Structure 1
């Protein structure tokens, strides 16, 4: 009914209104002005466009902006279609709910929060942004933490919008044992990138709560009370090809951020860097300076600590260029790598003859060119000749500790030391690769067997018979199926493979009816002539136990099988060239389906005394997860060190996730395989759509034996 004299609209019985924004309003009775700016209703229900829901005994609307719900209810959970009277997972009941469209806020007066229909908290008054707001100043949900040395901690963050492109978040935290800690996060966004700055500090009330051997404690005469950090991150797109960025951490001591779990900076091995990268089709440029900070608890002077021996890389350069046009019918590539390192302390191990890094400085510049072209014969044989050349210039400024350590290692191994300030080395390569993929096809299967043979003819690696050239980036040496057909199997530029070597093996792949597939690779490598670089002395013994240190290498192989029902299995390893005994082995099996998934992994590495591993290493890992009910899932994992007979890690958890609410609870334990010291972690999170998240996953308890 429309009353012309009062210009009001009256409606009775199952009233429904839809505004231009998509908000749907339901009521038994409605009395509103003809412009819908002011009005009154009974038995009101509102369904916003973002799927949030309001309900009230009565409702009032004023000035077209403010809606008041009397004895109201708010939730972001959709009503159950089968049982509409069932309480939602969560809701807020209040005497009044005031939705202000102008300030974009929802205020709750004399409210209680209900979970699964049960009241769990009362709030005299609180206010949240309405669902249309992306950013608004105000308090965020609190978080809590516990750690034995810190005590219980509570954080009540405050978010402050400074402008459309900047904001500031304050994280005041009180720890029962250590007192007040303050952390602030400033962020700014630009059209082409963004950056952030984090500042944190504390005056520890009780440094004695930490072990007296920890840097967190300090010394008896100088307790570590004032602690803090400054960190910054940024990334900017200069143009579609070039990116500039940084990630830097500076702190008063080496594990403040790790101890206090500062988000984004609590990585145990923190990588500070400044970089410039460019990418264009097949060409690549990367220039960066970086440093690894190890956030370990003990002072650098303690045996086994590595933070004090981490170098500063100032800078590292990688450049790769491939001309668009073919050269002599083939592909030509140019690569340049350079690195400059500064290290204050020698990185060695007294119990093992090894010098991982020299104290002092070292620089290396490498230039490399390679050409290759593939020919295909009428019989399907693929022949690829390869030509390559490389030149290295190396400068090293050894500290006195380094020269003594290198001389001592040379004496221990019975080889010569060759310590110079400058080295110039070269390498020329002439190679050939021959592949013959053979296809076997039937109505039910398609299989390809591809025999492969390679030969690379090179002079001996310069300076390979003695110790002297620093090895910083080629310390990892794993010979397996993935590296069988690599021209140079070293992991970095500080070493060069020399001599004449042949790689022989085959690849296999098969696809079968019903969705089954299989793949495999197997082969061996041969040092045909010249000095074997993997048998040559090295400051980190990189070739030892590699399986390549003899004229005929160990066998390497890998096989995999995939089924249509989600089952996969993979096995790979390295096997003795004579007895076929396993030297290195890894096997993985997994099954994945909608309600259930499980996986298991077994790994074995034979003893490597020159690396400090005097006994075989065996480890088995298992994990499983299941969706055991609608919205519910559970998971668990465990790792067992078979060599020491210790369960080194295990975890179990359960979670619930629907369209408006999420919950997770997890427990994990890690245990040192040698000392058997354990660290226990318990964490939980609650997530309420439109309200926020609450919880913690950083509970750490005192080590137990």
Structure 2
């Protein structure tokens, strides 16, 4: 024992030792501080008085004016005490007694996880539990409340004869978790009761039962296990729907007429393991009885509209990358699909989704320069299998196929690409970057008769009017010689710096093979947008199935500015020119990826982007694509936002002109607004909305408010989604109440966090 004090008095008659004045005692990891401490040798007890503090080995601090405790700090009695744990939870009581070094009983006690107010220490915390007796067992890690009441901002909300919670230091303990409440018009009111089972420090299980007033009982279970090098989870859920008719007629949720969809279920699993410092192996797989069960009932992390199931192996070493994965896509929509014979089918759309077995990417960049420049090799391969032909009919004339989004049966492709480039800087500041690239690929296709018929029908469509070239294999070679010129000009003043950079690129290539005829599938280059961000790309297609051929020049200006007051600005504007050979963007493929892109003519549309940001949180940007002759707006997007102090707002307007052959027959115009405001130190309100100008429908809207501090959070939200075509609305009300150390109560997480 280490004892420090101003004065030490030994009384041999009474067998006491009294220390007074700045007393400090350290013993067995316990620390005691007081004005005076008297030690009785016969009873082996310490009596400390005056601003007493005891800190045990776990960091829990006891405050009192007087403490009577044994010399091993194991047993004791305290009057008018206050206890603060290392996890910032607080006990207070008229008196307390400690036994055995682990069992503490508080008489007429109070418990809370809210830190006392410094300005008003006597002010009631946001929440607290008052009890006739509080029993804290540090051995079993439990806190038991007897004859207790729960107070919220000083107001009593309910009395409880007896209940028990986990010790605040416990991270995992078996028991009931706080229940949850949800509401949807087709599900009814749902009450969820989860039970957590802590089986070991490395694995656990959570089972949840949810009762819906419309649909009955939903059972869920989630198993989680962690290892030194990774972790995995398994989720199961199922329900026998009591009232499928509550859903819209002839949807996946309700089932087709005469065949209601009653039993529904799913199994999902995900995991990731580090094989070593460079290699990771993982998976994320969803299997369900129909394509919309997990989304309808909000099962865990399986609610995405398009859910990608995959198994993968990845490797990363400096600038070298390896990725091998198999994938399948689930579109969780409620619509039934029609088979060719006219019957409704749950799985028709799912059969159109491909199995990617596998997809492979490898990138290698040598550490050392090659001929003074950078050399890069890329290898890509994919094998795609589809059970059902995916195609769309023309809106103008349904007798013709407009696009073939995916062929039936199997197709595979192997692509190898190499690129070398080196930059030279002249004395005058001109940056010259010559480039050489070579790409070779081979594609093998196993067409079904239905696929051949659809492709020939599409080729005969008067809007397209091209020939077909359907074969078992396609081999392509593309060589590129390029030169990029940049001339950055710096303009500096006392309060600002500006860089204007004229920029030009020239790429000489042979024509894209097979682009003049329909036949070769386009699976990974269907998404295509030409704007300022892609102006200076060597190949503007988004994937390997299409390659940009012919000779092309890209010309434009880039600007960046920094001002003394902290403002920054940037911009880019330019145009692309097809100079020789065949224009790949004017050549139709099975999805018409280049149609209406702005690159299908020899002189492209103008593209531009400008933006700024201020140090006080204000930012804005605008981008557009304008017709090269009439300057008509083909595509535009405007964004603005402000974040500062108590207010945060954002706005975005987007316009995309109709792209009929690309699958969009009408213009698209949308305005999205969002914002939040902190009304008080702890109160905030927030909302968002999206309005479709073409259909005059408020597609999405939401409103919510919240209270949050260090120990309590309350969140209330209302959201409404409307169908763009029918205007039918779906409402969702969500709320969540969180008491620190006690638990959460309210809606499923996704119903509130999605806002």
> TM-score scaled to structure 1, two decimals?
0.96
Matched with 1:19 is 56
Q: Which moved more, 1:602-611 or 1:204-213?
A: 204-213
Q: Does 1:505 align with 2:569?
A: no
Matched with 1:642 is 693
Matched with 1:377 is 426
Q: Does 1:490 align with 2:533?
A: no
Matched with 1:176 is 213
The answer on whether the counterparts of 2:336 and 2:345 sit within 8 Å (CA) in structure 1 is no
- Superposed, 1:297-446 pairs within 5 Å as 297-301=334-338, 306-352=349-395, 353-412=402-461, 413-446=464-497
In 2: Cα distance, 1:13 partner to 1:279 partner: 62
Counterpart pick for 1:234 among 259, 262, 271:
271
Tell me the matched-pair count.
701
Matched with 1:456 is 507
Greater Rg over alpha carbons, structure: 2
Cα distance change on mapping 1:178 and 1:621 into 2, 3 Å: closer
User: C-alpha deviations, 1:634-686, integer Å up to 9, x for none?
Assistant: 21222111122222111121111111111111112121222111111211111
The answer on whether the counterparts of 1:590 and 1:600 sit within 8 Å (CA) in structure 2 is yes
**SS where residue 43 of structure 2 aligns?**
coil
**SS where residue 460 of structure 2 aligns?**
helix
Q: Which moved more, 1:666-675 or 1:522-531?
A: 666-675
The answer on whether the counterparts of 1:681 and 1:698 sit within 8 Å (CA) in structure 2 is no
Q: Does 1:91 align with 2:128?
A: yes
Q: How big is the shift at 1:63?
A: 0.7
Matched with 1:703 is none
Q: How big is the shift at 1:220?
A: 5.5
In 2: Cα distance, 1:13 partner to 1:322 partner: 71
Matched with 1:200 is 237
The answer on whether the counterparts of 2:389 and 2:406 sit within 8 Å (CA) in structure 1 is yes
In 1: Cα distance, 2:279 partner to 2:547 partner: 31
Matched with 1:568 is 619
Cα distance change on mapping 1:223 and 1:566 into 2, 3 Å: closer
Q: How big is the shift at 1:123?
A: 2.5
In 2: Cα distance, 1:671 partner to 1:268 partner: 16
Q: Does 1:109 align with 2:154?
A: no
In 2: Cα distance, 1:485 partner to 1:514 partner: 32
In 2: Cα distance, 1:563 partner to 1:203 partner: 56
Matched with 1:284 is 321
The answer on whether the counterparts of 1:418 and 1:467 sit within 8 Å (CA) in structure 2 is yes
User: C-alpha deviations, 1:352-407, integer Å up to 9, x for none?
Assistant: 51111111111011011111111111111111111111111001111122111100
Q: How big is the shift at 1:699?
A: 9.8
Matched with 1:605 is 656
User: C-alpha deviations, 1:571-604, integer Å up to 9, x for none?
Assistant: 1110110111111111112222122122221111
The answer on whether the counterparts of 2:364 and 2:376 sit within 8 Å (CA) in structure 1 is yes
Q: Which sections of structure 1, spanning at least 5 residues, go unmatched?
A: 701-705
In 2: Cα distance, 1:597 partner to 1:225 partner: 45
**SS where residue 240 of structure 1 aligns?**
coil
User: C-alpha deviations, 1:686-705, integer Å up to 9, x for none?
Assistant: 111111111115798xxxxx
Cα distance change on mapping 1:63 and 1:258 into 2, 3 Å: same
User: C-alpha deviations, 1:263-320, integer Å up to 9, x for none?
Assistant: 1112221110000111111111110001111111233326997433111100000111
In 1: Cα distance, 2:246 partner to 2:670 partner: 35
The answer on whether the counterparts of 1:32 and 1:40 sit within 8 Å (CA) in structure 2 is yes
Q: How big is the shift at 1:35?
A: 1.9
- Superposed, 1:547-696 pairs within 5 Å as 547-696=598-747
User: C-alpha deviations, 1:199-244, integer Å up to 9, x for none?
Assistant: 1222233333333412333355544333221111000111111111
Q: Which moved more, 1:327-336 or 1:148-157?
A: 148-157
**SS where residue 368 of structure 1 aligns?**
strand
**SS where residue 629 of structure 1 aligns?**
coil
Counterpart pick for 1:185 among 222, 225, 247:
222
**SS where residue 324 of structure 2 aligns?**
strand
Matched with 1:544 is 595
**SS where residue 452 of structure 2 aligns?**
helix
The answer on whether the counterparts of 1:147 and 1:699 sit within 8 Å (CA) in structure 2 is no
The answer on whether the counterparts of 1:456 and 1:487 sit within 8 Å (CA) in structure 2 is yes
The answer on whether the counterparts of 1:145 and 1:698 sit within 8 Å (CA) in structure 2 is no
Q: Which sections of structure 2, spanning at least 5 residues, go unmatched?
A: 1-37, 339-343, 396-401
In 2: Cα distance, 1:308 partner to 1:77 partner: 54
Q: How big is the shift at 1:79?
A: 1.3
Q: How big is the shift at 1:112?
A: 1.8
Q: How big is the shift at 1:89?
A: 0.2
In 2: Cα distance, 1:158 partner to 1:613 partner: 48
User: C-alpha deviations, 1:66-114, integer Å up to 9, x for none?
Assistant: 0011221100011112222211100111121110011111111222221
Q: Which moved more, 1:538-547 or 1:39-48?
A: 39-48
Q: How big is the shift at 1:512?
A: 1.4
Q: Does 1:250 align with 2:293?
A: no
Cα distance change on mapping 1:673 and 1:297 into 2, 3 Å: closer
In 2: Cα distance, 1:181 partner to 1:602 partner: 41
The answer on whether the counterparts of 2:646 and 2:678 sit within 8 Å (CA) in structure 1 is yes
Matched with 2:6 is none
In 2: Cα distance, 1:387 partner to 1:28 partner: 83
Q: How big is the shift at 1:5?
A: 2.4
Q: Does 1:535 align with 2:586?
A: yes
- How big is the alpha-carbon RMSD for the aligned residues of Structure 1 and Structure 2? 1.8
Cα distance change on mapping 1:195 and 1:676 into 2, 3 Å: same
In 1: Cα distance, 2:204 partner to 2:616 partner: 49
> TM-score scaled to structure 2, two decimals?
0.90
Q: How big is the shift at 1:259?
A: 1.7
Q: How big is the shift at 1:129?
A: 1.5
**SS where residue 202 of structure 1 aligns?**
strand
The answer on whether the counterparts of 2:329 and 2:354 sit within 8 Å (CA) in structure 1 is yes
Cα distance change on mapping 1:639 and 1:221 into 2, 3 Å: closer
Q: Which moved more, 1:288-297 or 1:559-568?
A: 559-568
In 2: Cα distance, 1:308 partner to 1:151 partner: 32
Q: Does 1:51 align with 2:51?
A: no
The answer on whether the counterparts of 1:388 and 1:430 sit within 8 Å (CA) in structure 2 is yes
Q: Does 1:7 align with 2:44?
A: yes
